[in-house]
Amino acid sequence: MVSYKDLGLVNSRELFAKAIEGGYAIPAFNFNNMEQMQAIIQACVETASPVILQVSAGARKYANQTLLRYMAQGAVEYARELGRAIPIVLHLDHGNSFELCKSCIETGFSSVMIDGSSLPYDENVALTRQVVDYAHRYDVTVEGELGVLAGVEDEVAAEESHYTRPEDVEDFVKKTGVDSLAISIGTSHGANKFRPEQCTRGADGVLVPPPLRFDILEEIEKRIPGFPIVLHGSSSVPQEYVRIINTHGGALKDAVGIPEEQLRRAAKSAVCKINIDSDGRLAMTAAVRKVFVDQPAEFDPRKYLGPARDELKKLYMHKCREVLGSAGKA
Ligand code: G3H
Ligand code: 13P
Ligand code: ZN
C-alpha cells in the first residue's frame, strides 16, 4: 500500500471547498505521456494554479498505471524545481469498477472517479457507496456521476445522453457519501460534441452549439447547496487548431466544442472541477502536423514533440487564466 500523502500529493477536498468559495474551477487535465505531464505542470506552476492530473483507463492501457503514478510523483518534485509547490491531485478518470478504484488507491492515487452513470440508479448508488467506503479509509476523495454524456472516446462511449435529474441528486449524495458529483447538462466527450443539425451556423459558417442547461445546474445547486459539481466534456475545440490541422493534411469535420464563455459562467458556480482533454489533443496534433509539413526532413521526435509540448503549455495557461479562473489560487 502506497499512500498518496507520502508522495506529496493531495486529495481534492480542500481544493474544491476553496474553489466554490472563490468562484473558480480546478483544471482536470488528462495525461498519457511525459510531454503532456510537463506541459501541465509548467503551465500550472507559471500561473500558480492547483491542478488535477487525470489518468483514464485508456491512459493506463497506453502508458501503464505504475509508470503514470511515478510520473505524478515526479511531477511533485518537478513543480518544486520549477519554483512553486502547487497542490497536485492524482485522479482516476472514469473508473468503471471497484477493483480498479481499489488498485489506484493502493498505488498512490489521491482521488478516484467511479462512473456508474450508465447503470440503473440503485446499482450506481451501491457501486459508488462501495468505492466511497474503501476510499475514505485512506482519505482518498471520490467523484460519482449522475446523468449520461454523449460522445465517443477510446474507453468512454455513450450513444445517447440524458441530463442529470435534479430530483435524484440529494438522495444520491446522501446514500453514497461521494465528495463531488459529475453531472450532465449538455457537455459531451471528444471534438465533435454536437451533430451539425443540433447547431446553428454563425456568420462565418462556424457551427454554434446549443447552450448548456444552466437551469438544470441551478436546480441542482438549490438541492445540494455548496456541494462540489464536476463538468466532464468541457473542451472548447479551438477553431484555430482545427484550421491548422485541416490545412496540414488533417481531416477533422464538424468539430465543435463548448464556448469558453459558458465555462467561465460555470466556473463561477458550484462547478469546481472542469475536465479538459480533447483541446490538448488538438493543440498537440496541430503543432506536430505543422512541423511535419513545414520541415519534412525533420525526424528527431524532440523536434515535433517539443513544439507540441509548448503549444499545450500555452493552451493550459490560457485555460487557467482566462477560463477557469484558477490562476493565482495555488
Ligand atoms: O473522458 C475521457 C478522456 O478524454 C480520456 O479519454 O479514454 O481516450 O483516454 P481516453
Ligand atoms: P473533453 O473530451 O471535452 O476534453 O472531455 C474530457 C473529459 O471529460 C475527461 O474525463
Ligand atoms: Zn470525462
Place 32 in a pLDDT band, splitting at 50, 70 and 90: very high
The answer, yes or no, to whether residue 151 has pLDDT greater than 70, is: no
Query: In Å, how far are 31, 74, 288, 290, 304 from 63, measured between CA atoms?
Result: 10, 15, 20, 25, 20
Residue 205 confidence (pLDDT): 82
Residues near ion ligand 3 (Cβ under 5 Å)? 232
For the beta carbon of residue 202, count every other beta carbon within 10 angstroms: 9
What per-residue confidence (pLDDT) applies to 188? 95
Whether residue 329 has pLDDT greater than 70: yes
Mutate to test the pocket of ligand 2, among 30, 31, 156 (most ligand atoms within 8 A of CB): 30
Ligand 2 cavity residues, CB under 6 Å:
30, 93-94, 189-190, 232-235, 275-279
Which residues lie below 8 Å from residue 76, measured CB to CB, with a gap of 6+?
Answer: 7, 8, 9, 85, 88
Distance CA 38, CA 255 (A): 27
pLDDT, position 152? 54
Q: What is the pLDDT of residue 250?
A: 98
Which carries the bigger pLDDT value, residue 156 or residue 169? 169
8 A C-beta contact, residue 138 and residue 104: no
Q: What is the pTM of this model?
A: 0.97
> What DSSP character marks residue 2?
B
| Cα of 156 from ligand 3 centre, angstroms | 7
pLDDT digits (tens, 9 = 90+) for 46-90: 999 999 999 999 999 999 989 999 999 999 999 999 999 999 999
For the cut 70, the answer to whether the pLDDT of residue 168 exceeds it is yes
Compute the distance from residue 61 Cα to the ligand 3 centre, in Å. Answer: 17
Tell me the pLDDT tens digit for each residue of 244-273: 999 999 999 999 999 999 999 999 999 999
What is the mean predicted confidence (pLDDT) over 28-36? 98
The end-to-end CA distance of the chain, in Å, is 28
Average pLDDT value for residue range 162-176: 97
The arithmetic mean of pLDDT across residues 11-29, rounded, is 98
Instruction: Give the tens place of pLDDT for each residue, 175-215.
Output: 999 999 999 999 999 999 999 999 999 888 888 999 999 99
Catalytic residue among 6, 93, 115, 310: 93
Q: pLDDT at position 206, please?
A: 84
At 84-97, the pLDDT tens digits run: 999 999 999 999 99
- Residue 109: the pLDDT is 98
For a substitution probing ligand 1, which of 154, 230, 236, 278 has the most ligand atoms within 8 Å of its CB?
154
Whether pLDDT at 153 is above 80:
no
Query: How confident is residue 156, by pLDDT bands cut at 50, 70 and 90?
Result: low
- The reported pLDDT for the residue numbered 204 is 82
Section 1-19 average pLDDT = 98
Confidence of residue 147 (pLDDT cuts 50, 70, 90): very high
Range of lowest pLDDT (36-40, 63-67, 272-276, 281-285): 63-67
What integer pLDDT is reported at residue 210 of this predicted model? 93
Pairwise pLDDT comparison (153 vs 18), residue with the higher score: 18
CA of 156 to the centre of ligand 1 (A): 6
Please state, in angstroms and as integers, the Cα–Cα distance from residue 201 to each residue in 126, 190, 206, 288, following that order: 44, 20, 6, 29
- The per-residue pLDDT for 243 is 98
Return the residue whose CA atom lies nearest to atom 4 of ligand 1: 277
